[in-house]
Amino acid sequence: MQRLACRDVTEPLHKRADGRLPAGEAAALDEHLRACTGCRAQAEQLDWAATALQRRQDVPRGFADRVLQRVAEREGATRPVRPRPLTLGIAWLALPVAALILVAAGLALRGVPNAPPPPSTASRAVEPPRVQVELELAKASARTVSVAGDFNEWQADGSRLTKGRDGVWRIRLELPPGRYQYVFVIDGEQWIADPQASTVVDSGFSGTNSVLDVSL
C-alpha cells in the first residue's frame, strides 16, 4: 500500500467527508491518519462539523401558523396590477420627470380615466424627483426575466421585464437620483449582470452586480 504524505491527504479527506472516498483509497488514508495527529485532527473536525450540522435547530413554535396566516391574508388581498408592456425601442432612456409627475398629479385630480390616484398631500410634499430609466436585455430564450436590485429590496421576481417582438426584454423604472446595484434574474434562477452596464462591482457571491447611476 502506498504511503500518503500530508499534502496528499487533503483531497481524500474531502472525499471522505463527502462520502465519496473509494474503498481502495480508504485504507491508505486511515493508515496516514493513525500516524499523523495533525491530519487526524482535521478529519475529526470535519466529522464534528458534519455531526453538529445534523443537529438541527427547532423551527420556532407557531411557524406554520404564521405562514398560513400570511397566506390567508394574501388570498384576501387584491392582486397587484402588472405593469403595461413597453413599446419604446430605446436601450437606455433617462428623462427627468419631476415636472411630469406634478402634471400627472394635476390631471389625476381632474379625474382623467386610467390615471393613478393622486398621492396624499403629505407624501407628495416629501417625494423626491424621479427619473425614468429603461433597462433591456437581449435574451430571447428566457422564459422570464426580472430585475433585482437596491430599488426593489433585491426581490428576485419584484420587477418583471416584458419581452418585445424583437426578443428583447425591457422594463422602465422610475427611480430617485442615486447609485443602484442590480442584476437580471433569468427564469427565476440565474443571476447575471447587465451586459450593457458601464460599471460592475463584485457581488460577493459568484458574479458581479451592475451599477446604475441615476441623476437629474
Partner 1 sequence: MAPSLPADADDLEAIRRVLAGQPDEFRALVDKYGPSIFNLAYRMTGSAPDAEDLAQEAFLQAYARLADFRVGSRFHPWLYTIALNLCRNHLRRKALVRWLPLQPQTPEDRPPDIEPVDHGLDPEQALLDKEGDLRLQRALQALPAKYREVFLLRQGQGLSYEEIAQVTGLPLGTVEVRLFRARKKLLEALAKDGSRAR
Q: Is 205 in the site for partner 1 (CB under 8 A)?
A: yes
Nearer to partner 1, 166 or 213 (CB): 213
Backbone angles phi and psi of 177, in degrees to 5 = -55, 140
Between CA 119 and CA 79 the distance in angstroms is: 20
Q: Is 45 in the site for partner 1 (CB under 8 A)?
A: yes
Q: What is the maximum alpha-carbon separation in the chain?
A: 90
We find the least distance from the C-beta atom of residue 1 to partner 1, in angstroms, to be: 24
Candidate residues 26, 112, 157, 166; the one interacting with partner 1 per rule CB under 8 A = 157
Backbone angles phi and psi of 158, in degrees to 5 = -70, -40
**DSSP state at residue 152:** G
Between CA 157 and CA 153 the distance in angstroms is: 11
We find the least distance from the C-beta atom of residue 126 to partner 1, in angstroms, to be: 20
We find the least distance from the C-beta atom of residue 109 to partner 1, in angstroms, to be: 34
Which residue, among 7, 23, 3, 5, has the nearest Cα to 15 in the 3D structure? 23
Q: Which residue has the cell 437606455?
A: 92
How far CA 19 is from CA of 5, 15, 45, 62, 206, in Å, comes to 21, 6, 15, 36, 26
Contacting partner 1 within 51-90 (CB under 8 A): 52-60, 63-64, 66-68, 70-72, 74-75
| DSSP assignment of 149-197 | EGGGTT-TTSEE-EE-TTSEEEEEEEE-SEEEEEEEEETTTEEE--TT-
We find the least distance from the C-beta atom of residue 107 to partner 1, in angstroms, to be: 33
Between CA 131 and CA 178 the distance in angstroms is: 10
Q: Is 151 in the site for partner 1 (CB under 8 A)?
A: no
Stretch that binds partner 1, among 104-112, 117-125, 167-175, 202-210 (CB under 8 A): 202-210
Q: Is 190 in the site for partner 1 (CB under 8 A)?
A: yes
Which residue, among 88, 108, 80, has the nearest Cα to 172 in the 3D structure? 88
Candidate residues 48, 103, 128, 166; the one interacting with partner 1 per rule CB under 8 A = 48
We find the least distance from the C-beta atom of residue 53 to partner 1, in angstroms, to be: 4
Q: Is 203 in the site for partner 1 (CB under 8 A)?
A: yes
Nearer to partner 1, 17 or 93 (CB): 17
Site residues (CB under 8 A) for partner 1? Answer: 10-11, 13-14, 17-19, 42, 45-46, 48-50, 52-60, 63-64, 66-68, 70-72, 74-75, 148, 150, 153-157, 181, 185, 188-191, 203-206, 209
